Structure 1
Amino acid sequence: MMGFVSFAGLAEMIRENVHRVPGDVDLIVGIPRSGMIPAYMIGLYLNRVVVDLEGFLVDQPIGHGSTRPAVAVPPSPMQARSILLVDDSALMGGSIRSAVKRLRDAGYTGRITECAAIVVPEATDKVDLYFSIMPLPRLFEWNAFHHVLVEGACFDMDGILCADPTEEENDDGERYRAFLGCARPHVRPTRRIAHIVSARLERYRPETEAWLAANGIEYGTLHLVNLPTAEERRRQGAHVVHKARVYMETGAPLFYESEPEQARQIARLSHKPVLCTHDMTLHLPDRLDVVAMARTMRWHMKTPLSLMKKRVKRLLIGHPAR
């Protein structure tokens, strides 16, 4: 089982829990880079100014927009009486402890409330405040293309690594060949992808390999469909079958798929999780639904009851797990 948190899921956690932030906090300090995401969300909900840790340490002047006046803006970071130090997650609390030490070494004497949006069960006592408990393995939308999982995963190509062809371009002829050479890059993972699994035809391998090389995308194996034409591929419905087969044979821990219906079908056929990048939803195979529900309930037993009820309700009515 794998846990997944999208930007929307993180916003929901914060929205449901932001009342637990101490009322005397007059500055939000985010730990770059991932910690800035929940820090800004919390700051917007509480109407508090947000600064990054490095800016705080040099006592950089505080600025904010003019759309709405921020509440209780201290003259400078070091003059804040109480700060909320925020990271996106905590395993052993090392990053937050290191940040606290840097703040104290820089001379800050005010109150520090340590906050991690998501913690593992073993880290609930490592911070002062958290919004959700989620054990490993887990994946966040903001690190989905940079996580170590990428190095063992299967990736769809069109719609993820590059833009999908238009209807005019997708003619299985000269227009399609032109598209293959100049397709617009979409996402560039920062790790080497284990398997690129595309429904492109085998005869387009040279153009596909050339495009990947030109765009600096590192990968292990490129799996294409060995059929003569796109019409034959459609007739056989080979898109999903090909992807699910490779996913099962490679033993990959996760499949990244851009098309929602294909994502659902790959999860069903492979009995393994599939991350749909179109709406950032983690699809779990049907046979794991009961396990997913039980683990979700256990993960969130220390979060407010209202949030746990919402998540269990999603599972009960058949929504994809997040």
Structure 2
Amino acid sequence: MKIIKSGMQAMVIGAALFSLAAHAQSSVQLYGLIDAFVAYKKPMNGQSTVLAGNGGLTASYFGMRGTEDIGGGTKVIFDLEGYFNVQNGAMGRTGFPQDGLFSRNAWVGATGRYGTATVGLIPPLLWFSTITFNPFFNSFVFSPMVLHSYVGVNGQGVFGNAGEWWNSVYYSTPAIGGFIGRAMYSFGNDPGHLGQNKWTGQVSYSNGGFATSVVYQQIKFSLNAGDLDTVLPGLKTQSVVNVGASYDVGFVKLYGQYQHVWDSISTGDVGIDTGQLGFSIPVGIGRILGSDAYSKSSGNSSMYRNTWALSYLYPLSKRTDLYAAVLSDRASHESAGETIGGGIRTQF
């Protein structure tokens, strides 16, 4: 009887250990970020207002990601993320009517010794370079580089959807001596439009406090196959090259970007050159952020735009910070714009 009892105990312990091991091989995480702010805002050529807004520094979102270890050093991965508005509880970002339930990320794939491959709704490589090499990251309110690239004026700007490409496949190499190569292709998914696509490639390098990236992107549709002409009359293809770099020397982190956009238009091509310089300086337990972006277009229409921003971030904890920021916006044939505000941002 003792032998049987000992055998049963061993089986129970073995089953428990197997269950723990199986649990350790897979995981699912719920997470997100909430950012609310109050500001005085006057857009260029617009009327001023005082508002309680969403996403002063980062658009609010929630997400669920998971991994499953399938052996041999390979894991199945997925990520589902959706935007929401703090001020009214609605799904999506303000001003982005195409946002769905999971409009920030919605993909599944695998990662291992040969790199990472995913399929679904995926942010393009140009977007990652734009937000990585400027101190205001992905702010659509206070980041000069994001505003110049994705909230252009008078036809300036990068099309193809800012934060995500639908119907996409993505591949990233493993890091080799600090270098990583990435590529992405987005299908038009529309019968009769086999040539309608978006594709992009990137080479990045990081070592210690230095990081740099070169990205090339070409689009033949923005959101849906055949829609470029509705985005900008006569537009057939848009190509973009972006070079970014950052260097952290301890007492200051420096950021820089250069970007050139080619718009192939039936009435004449247009080129847009944009440069951005920025910094992040630790002051006490907080940080001062500063950035300036300047764009100039040539071709059919010649115009300029200059935008600068300053901000102070004060951490209340590892997950929560307060911020105050000011932005000034100037462009050809437009009245000046400005935004002054402050808010709170917390992660969960």
User: Is the shorter-chain TM-score for this pair beyond 0.5, marking a shared fold?
Assistant: no
Q: TM-score, normalised by structure 1?
A: 0.24
Higher helix share: 1
